[in-house]
Amino acid sequence: MWSTDNCREIISEWAQNTIYKVDLRKIDSSLISNISKDFEVDYEQYYPNQRFEISRTKYYPGLLATFFYRISRYLYLSDDESQAREFSSVGFALSAMEIYYSSNIKSGLKINHGIGTVIGARVKVGHNALFHHNVTLGDKNGGRPKLGDGVIVYPGAVIIGDIEIGDNCIIGANTTILKSVAAGSKVVGVFK
């Protein structure tokens, strides 16, 4: 199991040589308690049926980015946007993935080879999503996408605007989605 101390130790190792000013005092038992349910499900996506070890987080950039997202999201919801931004920025610096703390991502997130992936502000993602590298989820005319449970998004896909992607959809590589997609759909090309 993970503890406040080993979580602080790992973050200290990752953040010590950066320009970011993370406050390790924010890593307390309340934070661990609040993020552990979701993060342990995220971890299981990478290490199925293995004992949880926080130090293994560093071996998968997608898991590392998700770890820092979970921390920054909790801080944001606790009205500490300044520290949310710092922790989020460390996650980006270490993983080359931007996951905004104001996005709402349910448990079970997995990001394969995620370099270049952006999950923008106020995007919503359901349980057990699987993303690949260079995926963009973001704004169009002030609207943000909402993805259901079990959505798979392949490399280079762009999903933008006030649209909904239903449960268990598969979005093909280099696909652009500008309108809502029904549950269970498989989409390739440009969908507008």
Query: In this structure, are 111 and 71 located in the same domain?
Result: no
Local structure of residue 181 (DSSP, 8 states): B
Query: What length does the chain have?
Result: 192
Considering the entire predicted model, what is its pTM?
Answer: 0.94
Contact 168, 183 (CB under 8 A): yes
Please give the C-alpha separations between residue 86 and each of 39, 54, 90, 162, 165, in angstroms, as whole numbers.
Answer: 19, 20, 6, 28, 30
Contact 71, 94 (CB under 8 A): no
Question: What is the tally of structural domains in the chain?
Answer: 2
Q: What is the pLDDT along the chain (192 residues), one digit of tens a residue?
A: 678 888 888 888 887 777 888 998 899 999 999 999 999 999 999 999 999 888 888 899 999 999 999 999 999 999 999 999 999 999 999 999 999 999 999 999 999 999 999 999 999 999 999 999 999 999 999 999 999 999 999 999 999 999 999 999 999 999 999 999 999 999 999 999
* Domain extent at residue 130: 103-192
Query: In this structure, are 152 and 182 located in the same domain?
Result: yes
Query: In this structure, are 53 and 92 located in the same domain?
Result: yes
Query: In this structure, are 76 and 10 located in the same domain?
Result: yes
Where residue 118 sits, what CATH number does that domain have?
Answer: 2.160.10.10
Spatial separation of the C-alpha atoms in residues 142 and 161, rounded to whole Å? 7
Contact 97, 117 (CB under 8 A): yes
